[in-house]
Amino acid sequence: MTPSIDIGIVADDLTGANDTAVQFGMRGWDARIALREDAELSGQIVAISSDARPLADIPAARATEAAIEHLNPTRLYLKIDSTARGSIAAQVEGALAAWTRRHADAVAVVCPAYPAMARTVEAGQVLVGGSPVHRTAIGTDPVTPVTESSLVARIPNSKVATIDDIPAAAPGAILILDARGQAELDQYALRLAQLGERFIVVGSAGFAESLARHLPGSRESSDVPRPRGRSVILLSSLNPVSHAQADTLRDSRPDVVQVVEPTLADASAVSAAGSTVPAERPVTLIRTPQSRVSEGNGDAAAAVADVLAAVTVSIIEREHPAVIGLVGGDGARAVLRRLGARALAVRDAAVEGAPMMTIVGGPHDGLAVWTKAGGFGDSETLLRILEHTGAVAAPDVTRSVKEDTP
């Protein structure tokens, strides 16, 4: 079968596929995220989620391998979590198994650094804000905790390498590269662009940003209009970072944001009968039950997200919002499936780590949607996203300066 995709992105969850593809879309590439097997799988950039992050090693490797076979791209980007959560070793194993069938001398180059989000790789260790990742909140993540910061310890048969080691790497090698800033990722991208297609690039959206600027390929520049109007947001993630963001949004703009926090029993009833929550404010935020966050109950994450997705879709179909926001991969996939979306077309980014897209296919074709991974951003990230989409008025900087001037 002849490849019809220039660069295939295989991500370990949906939000990862989105925030990686947007790095290309923002820089003029035609980028899409395939949500269903019958979605059109051709074009410059096509991303797909293997949903491998929480899986055990064997199913994670198989899911990754199958996703690569399904895409059949010319170049391969394996998107792993920037904090190294989940089945990263098995995903690399599955990617090498698939890619070796195309290139007998296939090599994996691994660097999940995302400097814009303060995620770096130093001496083969993943750091967040300068601290080893296992000593941060990621170490106690309720679904995929990270207890080891060393990538060499996490990925069998890997070794720390430098940019000069890449060209002569032996078939099947797994090279771990350090990166403290975007300039280092740029150097890697330039070298890999010259070396050809046998190299699997394994990283986060940070490495993808460099590749989007340096890989050869046609690009088009166009002004993307921002969506405007009412917003509906589902926060299905258990990550405390996103819940702190929701608290900031609720407390700072109570006149704009209406928070819906259903118990699981309430959510189940609504999913069967439809939502009766009145739309009183420009933004409706549906939030996963707080007991699941405080107790770290991630065992039934996908099932609970599906119930919450039913509530969210019921509200969407009644309110007809201009924009929907999806925080957390399980909830994002569940909502988009219920909306009948076949794919997502990448348009822009509301903020770093929150791509703006439109739904392709189904009854909600063209609806604007943004997604965000649970651990991304600072306390005001949700507020800034809503300012970008016009659901919340941005501060009047000129007025503030005048008022502060003596």
Distance CA 115, CA 300 (A): 32
DSSP notation for 269-282: HHHHH-------SS
Q: Which residues pair with 231 in a beta bridge?
A: 283, 323
For residue range 3-17, what is the model confidence (pLDDT) as tens digits?
678 999 999 999 999
Q: CA angle, corner 224, sides to 285 and 340, nearest 5? A: 50
pLDDT of residue 265: 66
| Alpha helices by DSSP H, 285-380 | 290-295, 301-319, 329-338
**Could you tell me how far CA 60 lies from the centroid of its own chain?**
18
List, by residue range, all CATH 3.40.50.10840 domains of the chain.
Answer: 5-214
The ranges of the chain with pLDDT < 50 are 1-2, 272-274, 294-295, 297-298, 397-403
For the domain made up of 231-396, give the CATH fold.
Molybdenum Cofactor Biosythetic Enzyme; Chain A (3.40.980)
List, by residue range, all CATH 3.40.980.20 domains of the chain.
Answer: 231-396
Distance CA 144, CA 168 (A): 35
C-beta atoms surrounding 218 within 10 Å:
9
Distance CA 144, CA 128 (A): 16
What angle do the packed helices 329-338 and 14-25 form, to 10 degrees? 80
What's domain 5-214's architecture?
Answer: 3-Layer(aba) Sandwich (3.40)
The structure tokens listed for 86 are: 């989940």
Distance CA 321, CA 24 (A): 27
For residue range 96-153, what is the model confidence (pLDDT) as tens digits?
999 999 999 999 999 999 999 999 999 999 999 999 999 999 999 888 999 999 999 9
Contact 380, 389 (CB under 8 A): no
pLDDT of residue 142: 80
Position of tokens 């690009």?
A: 219
| pTM across the whole model | 0.83
pLDDT of residue 43: 78
204 Rama sector, left if φ>0, alpha if ψ -120 to 50, beta otherwise: beta
